[in-house]
Structure formats: structure tokens, C-alpha cells
């Protein structure tokens, strides 16, 4: 049972809905720790291959840290080891996650979206890292991810002013994967998740590991020559043989994830 989010499983896809619309789905300590547990379980559950994260209601995906709860606590911000919402510092996360952004994605909420692999945004979505305007900095990955995902001068324009951008501009800049009408958001997110889940799961894990870890190498040659455990696991799997066999036999492959 969860208190601050709702969970729904459909086939291989887990949908996580942050359920604090009264505070624009902002997260306090307890909500972040709850989400960390949810994504720990997602990572360890071999029956689940893809996750979608979204926010309850039309107004906000996540407005970041719940500043009222933070001020009332009188403590420094406390997040789980895997970061804000259990995702922004989940560096060992192997499974793909789709963000369905349905309104405000501010501060930690934008950092949460940036930590996902695919970002589907409603036309009404607005992204910002306003921390400098209140004496803070986007230290939950926002500074580092944004400056790697879009051209540096555009990133600095957002980071140094705290200005927000709408979904279409986010798509143009490159941190949004697709923009859809508000009523189409969840269908679009499920389409992306379904397309991912239709692929061989170990191939997806290998692809994500190569893409994320490969960036750390200075050249394409170094990245290609690096060792990736997920690739080795894929090559030793039943699915590695099932895919070509199904292609030759002109049938749909039966992925087992092993």
C-alpha cells in the first residue's frame, strides 16, 4: 500500500502517479522515500520491464520540493540515497522510465523528468529550474543533466535565470521527446512504454547501459571497446537466440527476459 502515489500495472508496464495534487504534487521527505521504495521494487521485479511516472490532476507533474513541509520540519532537505523521488540519483537504474508531464515540472519535478529516459509532455507542460530565485541551486541533477542534454548556451540561459519553457520549446531544445494534446498524454506515454516493452527486455537493458555509460568515454572508439555487463548478459540469453529464430520462422518472438 502506498500513501503518496498510486500504482497501476498493465502487462509489463508499471504506472506511478504522484498523488498530492493539493500541493501540485510537490514531494516532502516521506513521499520521496515512498517513491524510492516503489522504484526499488520495480527494479527487482522481473515481471515489470518499463515504468511510467506522472502526476495526479491536470495542473502539475511535480512542483519539486514541498517547501512548506520543508520549512515546518526545520531540517535540511532529506532525500533517499537514490535521490529526489527515488530517481534523480538512481545511477544504477537499468530499466527504462517514461515521464508523462502534465503541467508544472519545476525544480525537483523538472529534475525528475530529466532523470527519465523518455519525456512525453502535454502542450500545457512548463519546465523550469527556479532555484536561484529563492537562493538555492538545482543540485538534484538538473544542472548537470540539462547542460548535457541541450546546447550549453541554451542550458545556461535557463539555469542562470530560472526561466520556464513550455513543452514545444522543450521539444525544440531537445529534452522533450514528444508533445501531445493534454487529453492524449497518457495514451502517448503508454504507447511509448508499450513499444519499449515489445522489444527484447535484455536488449533494452543493454541498449540503455551502452547509451548512458558510453557517454562517459571520450571517443566513440573508447565507448565501443568498453565492457558492458548488460551486453554480455544479453548475448548469453535465450532471447538472444529467440529473436533471430522468430524472424526466420516469420512469427512474433516470445521474450522471456533470460
**74 falls in which pLDDT band (50, 70, 90)?**
low
Residue 9 has a pLDDT of 97
Residue range 80-94, pLDDT digits in tens: 999 999 999 999 899
Out of 8, 123, 131, 168, the active site residue is 131
Cell of 210: 551502452
Q: Could you tell me the fold of the domain covering 5-197?
A: 2-enoyl-CoA Hydratase; Chain A, domain 1 (3.90.226)
pLDDT in the model for residue 76: 62
CB of 55 within 8 A of CB of 47? no
Q: What are the angstrom distances between the C-alpha of 197 and each of 30, 50, 241?
A: 31, 6, 18
Calculate mean pLDDT across residues 132-136: 89
| Beta strands, E only, 12-95 | 13-18, 50-55, 60-62
- pLDDT of 251 strictly over 90: yes
Helix orientation angle between 238-248 and 201-214, rounded to the nearest 10 degrees:
120
C-alpha span between 17 and 38 (Å, rounded):
11
131 is catalytic: yes
The pTM of this model reads: 0.94
Respond yes or no: is residue 111 known to be catalytic: yes
Helical H segments across the chain, by residue range: 29-44, 67-73, 108-114, 142-149, 152-159, 167-173, 185-197, 201-214, 220-225, 229-235, 238-248
> Can you name the residues that pair with 62 across neighbouring β-strands?
105
Q: What is the pLDDT of residues 194-223, one digit of tens each?
A: 999 999 999 999 999 999 999 989 899 999
Catalytic annotation, pick one of 3, 8, 34, 111: 111
Give me the chain's average pLDDT, please.
95
Domain positions in the chain are: 5-197, 201-248
Which residue, among 1, 5, 188, has the nearest Cα to 99 in the 3D structure? 188
Is pLDDT above 80 for 71?
Answer: no
Amino acid at each position: 500500500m502506498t500513501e503518496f502515489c498510486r500504482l497501476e500495472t498493465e502487462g509489463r508496464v508499471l504506472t506511478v502517479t504522484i498523488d498530492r495534487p493539493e500541493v501540485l504534487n510537490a514531494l516532502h521527505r516521506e513521499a520521496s522515500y515512498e517513491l524510492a521504495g516503489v522504484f526499488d521494487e520495480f527494479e527487482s521485479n522481473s515481471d515489470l520491464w518499463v515504468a511510467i511516472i506522472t502526476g495526479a490532476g491536470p495542473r502539475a507533474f511535480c512542483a519539486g520540493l514541498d517547501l512548506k513541509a520543508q520549512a515546518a520540519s526545520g531540517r535540511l532537505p532529506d532525500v533517499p540515497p537514490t535521490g529526489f523521488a527515488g530517481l534523480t540519483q538512481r545511477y544504477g537504474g537499468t530499466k527504462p522510465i517514461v515521464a508523462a508531464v502534465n503541467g508544472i515540472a519545476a525544480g525537483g519535478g523538472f529534475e525528475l523528468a530529466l532523470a527519465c529516459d523518455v519525456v512525453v509532455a502535454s502542450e500545457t507542460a512548463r519546465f523550469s529550474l527556479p532555484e536561484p530565485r529563492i537562493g538555492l541551486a538545482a543540485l538534484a541533477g538538473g544542472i548537470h543533466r540539462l547542460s548535457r542534454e541541450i546546447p550549453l548556451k541554451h542550458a545556461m540561459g535557463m539555469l542562470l535565470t530560472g526561466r520556464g519553457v513550455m513543452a514545444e520549446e522543450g521539444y525544440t531544445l531537445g529534452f522533450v521527446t514528444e508533445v501531445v494534446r493534454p487529453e492524449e498524454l497518457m495514451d502517448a506515454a503508454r504507447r511509448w512504454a508499450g513499444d519499449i516493452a515489445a522489444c527484447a527486455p535484455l536488449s533494452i537493458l543493454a541498449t540503455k547501459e551502452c547509451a548512458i555509460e558510453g557517454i562517459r568515454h571520450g571517443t566513440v572508439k573508447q565507448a565501443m571497446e568498453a565492457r558492458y555487463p548488460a551486453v554480455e548478459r544479453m548475448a548469453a540469453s535465450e532471447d538472444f537466440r529467440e529473436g533471430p529464430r522468430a524472424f526466420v520462422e516469420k512469427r512474433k518472438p516470445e521474450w522471456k527476459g533470460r
